[in-house]
Structure 1
Amino acid sequence: MQTELNKVINALHEFYAREAFLLEKDVGERALTHRLAVHFEAQFSGWEIDCEYDRLGDRTLRLPHGSIVSSDDHLAKSIYPDIVVHQRAIPNNLLAVEVRKSANHQPLEHDQHKLRALTDPHLWFAYWIGLLLTLDKKQVTMSEVYTSGALDQTLSIWFAGRLKDAGLSAG
């Protein structure tokens, strides 16, 4: 998993180096996630990178009933991850990423619940890794790594250290 997370570090480095204009202009989260996804493409050869992807093979992505996360995207609080690294046709799901701007004052619980659900190994479509990133204009201000349906403290600490070592976080 560290290999894949190092690829995310590389993509974030390129993102911050090349997208300063968008960050300074305080564009919306969806514009930022699109540009970050572009930088993911250079790192994840052989994988497809999509934003707000709503399919699993031929099926529409839906979580089990009783979930607090909705399939309705009217309020932009859907179950669809901001960025996914996957193989569409199989489906083979490597990485689900939720991105937040540091100015977003909505509670983290929605994104955290979504990543726990999307990495739940009891669901046939589980992503191997879930990643929550909070982005400021100059750096990542918060990150969490999810595996097997739960926050992975060890990987989260490791990833935060890698962000700091790369100059991408005050850590």
Structure 2
Amino acid sequence: MNPTITKGINIAISKLFEKDHHLLSHDLNERTIAHKLAVYLQEEFQEYNVDCEYNRNVDEANKQKRIYVLESECKRLKKDFIKDIVDDDTEYMGLSTFPDIVIHRRGKNTDNYLVIEIKKSTNRLDRRFDFKKLECYTDKERYNNLEYDWGLFIEFETGMEKIKKTELIWFKEGKRIL
């Protein structure tokens, strides 16, 4: 694990807990929490742009940020992907995506540093889809060309006065780091 990135993430999360505890304890919208976290991340990663729900990809013809997943996995995830690519009789499905937070340099895919998906503990939606997105964002395979160096899933404990924990799950090169 890269100590610079973990230090910056931990400082930003600490600032969120200290300055915006209300957002977590009152279980506000994930977008609201993501925005405030992005503000603190920008302070820690000043040499990059930090954006919420950034949906552009300079390498796609339509400029949309898309992930590509095997058709069989799409059915398992029960998400509405669209048929997009057939390669050697293997079907890949495409989906436009809006990552919660990205740390990158705008306008190119060569400096996509970190992509973050967040979830609140009170959100009962399946985390597997967030994990699949992070695998695709960090995957260097043929069709997933976003090439983020790192992916991070953050689950914030919400809806309680005393917030006790935050779960961090890291991804690199299309795989979860254990």
Task: Report if TM-score (shorter chain) is over 0.5.
Answer: yes
Q: Which residue of 1 is the match for residue 90 of structure 2?
A: none
Q: Which residue of 2 is the match for residue 160 of structure 1?
A: none
> Is the contact made by 1:70 and 1:78 (CA closer than 8 Å) also made in structure 2?
no
Corresponding position: 1:27 with 2:52 = no
Q: Which residue of 2 is the match for residue 165 of structure 1?
A: none
Q: Which residue of 2 is the match for residue 146 of structure 1?
A: 171
What is the correspondence of 1:8-157 to structure 2 with a 5 Å cutoff? 8-57=9-58, 59-64=63-68, 66=70, 68=74, 79-91=97-109, 92-122=111-141, 123-137=144-158, 138-153=163-178
**Gaps spanning 5+ residues in structure 1: where?**
154-171
Query: 1:71 and 1:95, CA in 2 relative to 1: closer, same or farther beyond 3 A?
Result: farther
Task: Tell me the SS of whatever aligns to 1:3.
Answer: helix
What is the correspondence of 1:148-167 to structure 2 with a 5 Å cutoff? 148-153=173-178
TM-score by length of 1: 0.79
Q: Number of matched residues?
A: 149
RMSD of equivalent CA atoms: 2.1
> Is the contact made by 2:64 and 2:96 (CA closer than 8 Å) also made in structure 1?
no
**Structure (1 or 2) with the greater strand fraction:** 2
- The list of structure 1 runs, each at least 4 consecutive aligned residues, that deviate by more than 4 angstroms after superposition, is 69-72
**Gaps spanning 5+ residues in structure 2: where?**
83-94
1:101 positional shift: 0.4
Deviates more, 1:85-94 or 1:143-152: 85-94
1:141 positional shift: 3.5
Who wins on radius of gyration, i.e. which is larger? 2
Per-residue CA deviations over 1:16-35 (Å, capped at 9, x if unaligned) read 11001222222111111011
Per-residue CA deviations over 1:7-65 (Å, capped at 9, x if unaligned) read 10110011111001222222111111011111101000110011111002372111236
TM-score by length of 2: 0.76
**Structure (1 or 2) with the greater helix fraction:** 1
